[in-house]
Chain A
Amino acid sequence: MSCHSPSSSKNRKVDRKSGKHLTIALAGNANVGKSVIFNQLTGSNQIIGNWPGKTVERAEGKLHFEGHDITIIDLPGIYSFSTYSLEELVSREYVAFEKPDVVVNVIDASVLERNLFFTIQLMEMEAPLVICLNQMDSAKKKGITIDAKKLEAVLGVPVVPTVAIRGEGMHELMKTAIEVAQHKQYVRKPVVEYGDEVETRINNLARLIEFEKLELGYPSRWVAIKLLENDPEIRKLVSSKSEDVIHASETLSEEISRIHREPCFAVIASERYCVATRIASDVQRQNLLKTTFSEKLDWVTTHKVFGYIISIGVITGLLLWTFTVGNFLSSLLSNAFSFLEPVDPKVSGPILSIIWNGVFGGFVAGVTLIIPFVIPFYLVLAMIEDSGILTRVAFMMDSAMHKIGLHGKAIIPLILGFGCNVPAIYTTRIMETRRERLLASFAITFAPCAARTIVILGLVSVFVGIEWTLALYAIDILLIFALGRIALKVVPGKSTGLIMELHSFKVPSLSVVSKQTWTRTKSIIYMVFPIYIVGSVAVQALYALGVFEPVNNAMSFITVTWLGLPAIAGTLLIFGVIRKEFILLALVAIYNTTNLALFLTPVQLIVLALIGMIYIPCLATIMMLGKEFGWKAATIISAANIASAIFIGGIAFRLLTLIF
Chain B
Amino acid sequence: MTSKSVEDYLKALYVLSRNGKAVATTEISQYFKIAPASVTEMLKKLAEQGYVKYSPYRGSALTEKGFKVAEKVTRKHRLLERFLRDVLKIDKDMVHPQACEMEHSLSDKAAESLCRFLKHPDKCPDDEKIIPPCDLPFYSCEECMRLHSKGLEEVGKRKENLVALSALKKGQMGKIFFIRGGRNMLQRLLDMGLTPGTRISVIQAAPFEGPVEILVRGSKLALGRGIASKVFVDIESQSL
Contacts and interface: CB of A to CB of B under 8 A. Distances in A.
Nearest to B185: A497
B192 A399 contact: no
B213 interface: yes
A79 interface: yes
A262 B188 CA distance: 16
Question: Which of A80, A82, A269, A303 has the most chain B CB atoms closer than 10 A to its own CB?
Answer: A269
B131 interface: no
B113 to A, nearest CB: 19
B42 to A, nearest CB: 39
Interface string A250-283: 0000100100011101100110010001000000
A606 to B, nearest CB: 33
Contacts of B139: 261-263, 266
B187 to A, nearest CB: 5
Contact of A304 (B143, B195, B206): B206
A408 B196 contact: no
Nearest to A502: B220
Contacts of A105: none
Contacts of B195: 266, 269-270, 273
B70 interface: no
Contacts of B155: 261
A407 interface: yes
A395 B220 CA distance: 12
A363 interface: no
B213 A407 contact: no
B209 A114 contact: no
Contact of A114 (B150, B192, B204, B208): B192
Interface string A269-306: 11001000100000000000000000000110011100
B41 interface: no
Contacts of A266: 139-140, 143, 186, 190, 195-196
A498 B213 contact: no
A287 to B, nearest CB: 14
Contacts of A499: 188-189, 192, 221-224, 227
A395 B186 contact: no
Nearest to A232: B183
Interface in A594-644: none
A269 B138 contact: no
Interface string B105-141: 0000000000000000000000000000000011110
A502 B213 contact: yes
B207 interface: yes
A399 B225 contact: yes
B49 interface: no
Nearest to A111: B219
Nearest to B150: A254
A398 B166 CA distance: 14
A53 interface: no
A408 B204 CA distance: 16
Nearest to A265: B187
A84 interface: yes
B210 interface: yes
Nearest to B143: A263
Interface in A479-525: 495, 497-503
A156 to B, nearest CB: 23
B216 to A, nearest CB: 8
Contact of B222 (A112, A299, A498): A498
Interface residues of B, number: 45
A597 B134 CA distance: 71
B217 interface: yes
Interface residues of A, number: 45
Nearest to B145: A263
A262 B221 contact: no
Contacts of A396: 206, 210
B222 A84 contact: no
Nearest to B138: A261
A101 interface: no
A302 B192 contact: no
A299 B203 CA distance: 9
Interface string A391-414: 100111011101000011000000
Given A111-B218, A261-B137, A501-B219, A407 B224 contact: yes
A362 B138 CA distance: 69
A507 B197 CA distance: 36
B140 A408 contact: no
Interface in A108-140: 110-114, 117
Contacts of A402: 209, 224
A233 B124 CA distance: 35
Contacts of B224: 398, 402, 407-408, 497-499
A113 B220 contact: no
Contact of A395 (B143, B183, B187, B211): B211
Nearest to A254: B150
Given A263-B139, A395-B210, A499-B222, A79 B196 contact: no
B191 interface: yes
A358 interface: no
Nearest to B217: A113
A503 B220 CA distance: 7
B146 interface: yes
Contacts of B213: 302, 395, 502
Interface of B: 137-140, 142-143, 146-147, 150, 155, 183-193, 195-198, 203-204, 206-211, 213, 217-227
12 contacts: A79-B191, A82-B187, A84-B188, A263-B142, A266-B186, A269-B195, A270-B197, A395-B222, A399-B210, A399-B211, A499-B227, A501-B219
Given A408-B222, A501-B221, 18 more contacts: A82-B191, A110-B218, A262-B138, A265-B190, A266-B195, A277-B217, A298-B220, A303-B204, A394-B222, A395-B211, A398-B211, A399-B208, A399-B211, A400-B208, A499-B188, A501-B192, A502-B222, A503-B220
Ranked 9 nearest A-B pairs via Cβ: A498-B224, A497-B224, A80-B191, A497-B227, A269-B190, A502-B220, A270-B195, A497-B226, A399-B210
